[in-house]
Structure 1
Amino acid sequence: MRPAPGEVLHFSEDPDIRMFRPHVSVSSGSWEELVWAVDAERAPDYWFPRQCPRAMVWLRPSSSRGDRQRLIGDGGGHRVHAIEYGWLSRFLEVELYAYRLPAGPFRPFGADGHALVARERVEPLGKPLPVGNLLALHRRAGIQLRLYDNLWPFWDAAVDSSLGHSAIRMRNARPRPQPARRSGPPHAPTAIS
């Protein structure tokens, strides 16, 4: 589910949006009223229930072999998406829709242009398209889908890698694991002279 030339997409669980009006997105870090969309390259970032936390990595020309092996592995493909087990049933059951929007009013947003924004109202080019089975969509696109008890260790590894990476709705992920406590007596303080 990717946009055709001259189009961008907006993914939603609401099948009845008639007009996209600029609004403030609290999670974007911008207080400007905007309409949000994505291009073909970043469309897979939104093949999820809206509130589902997800961490994603993909190959870039500058990615090291070690990082590829560590985070993508031999499972094939060039991209990995990860969610938590607690979101799996919602991922499998959600009814997601793709709205086709004209690309003309949209401009890249953010340092890496990961999203596209318009500052004016935008009318969809037609009825929204049902996205269908998200698991099958990932498979057809060659994207590995992984399940974790907790996303934070995967995300921390992604941030410290040479791979492209993005995370969405991490505020909805399980809390970051606490470091393991050491067993045994604490170390004696070191004397400073």
Structure 2
Amino acid sequence: MIALPAPGELLHFSEDPSIVAFVPHVAATAQQPEAYVWAVDALNSPCYWFPRQCPRVCSWDPAGSGPRVHAVEQRWLPTIRSTTLWSYRFAADDFEPFGERPHAYVATHPVEPLGPPDRVGDLVAPHEQHGIELRVLAELEPSFTQVRERGLEFSGIRIGNAGIGPDGPFPTRR
């Protein structure tokens, strides 16, 4: 089972198991010019149980009364099943909440993990183990629209990759 961060810890997920120190940088997908090291808490960690480039919509009821749901496109399922992911643990004291409604935490100085990374196994199984419904859909956009319309808390990650498979664009439908 994928461990969530312990109290006082945050996690960073990566496909690279060899990182010994994290140095702030401006990510290629960044919407801000500042250099950061990114990490997530227990609420947001499950949103990162996917290959980095995989588009997904993660949603949950802010009152906690409904199920948490993660949606991905069918074309990404083989990549989800074959990707090896690593989780790095950090002391939360090294990070600050990012944004008014924090969905992540950032450090503006180099940080070292608390130990070697943990190998994350099957990326589908932890959803079931943590009671998260994993929906595999033909297209992601209708689900994303529905989540926004229902007023759920959500995280849409790599949505720009929706409709594009792990090996590049698909032919236009006829």
TM-score, with normalisation over the residues of structure 1?
0.80
Does residue 94 in structure 1 map to residue 83 in structure 2? Answer: yes
For residues 1-193 of structure 1, the aligned pairs below 5 Å read 1-61=3-63, 78-174=67-163
Alpha carbons 1:57, 1:165 under 8 Å: kept: yes
2 CA distance for matches of 1:160 and 1:111?
21
2 CA distance for matches of 1:28 and 1:166?
15
Q: RMSD of the alignment, in Å?
A: 1.5
Instruction: Give SS of 1:45's match.
Output: helix
1:100-151 CA distances to partner (integer Å, 9 max, x unpaired)?
1111111111231000001100001111001111111110000000011110
Cα deviation for residue 44 of structure 1 reads 0.4
Alpha carbons 1:62, 1:162 under 8 Å: kept: no
1 CA distance for matches of 2:63 and 2:116?
37
Cα deviation for residue 61 of structure 1 reads 2.1
- Identity percentage of aligned residues: 48
Instruction: Give SS of 1:90's match.
Output: helix
Cα deviation for residue 62 of structure 1 reads 9.0
1:21-68 CA distances to partner (integer Å, 9 max, x unpaired)?
0000242311100000001111001000111000111011298xxxx6
CA change 1:62–1:143 in 2 (3 A) is: closer
Amino acid across the alignment from 1:163: L
Larger strand proportion of the pair:
2
2 CA distance for matches of 1:132 and 1:4?
19
- Aligned residue pairs: how many? 162
Instruction: Give SS of 1:125's match.
Output: coil
1 CA distance for matches of 2:32 and 2:113?
24
Instruction: Give SS of 1:144's match.
Output: strand
1:73-110 CA distances to partner (integer Å, 9 max, x unpaired)?
xxxxx200000011000111110000011111111112
Q: Which residue matches 1:189?
A: none
TM-score, with normalisation over the residues of structure 2?
0.89
Amino acid across the alignment from 1:102: A
2 CA distance for matches of 1:61 and 1:44?
18
Gaps of 5+ in 2: 165-174
1 CA distance for matches of 2:104 and 2:13?
12
Amino acid across the alignment from 1:114: H
CA change 1:89–1:117 in 2 (3 A) is: same
Amino acid across the alignment from 1:116: Y
1 CA distance for matches of 2:117 and 2:87?
5
Instruction: Give SS of 1:27's match.
Output: coil
CA change 1:91–1:45 in 2 (3 A) is: same
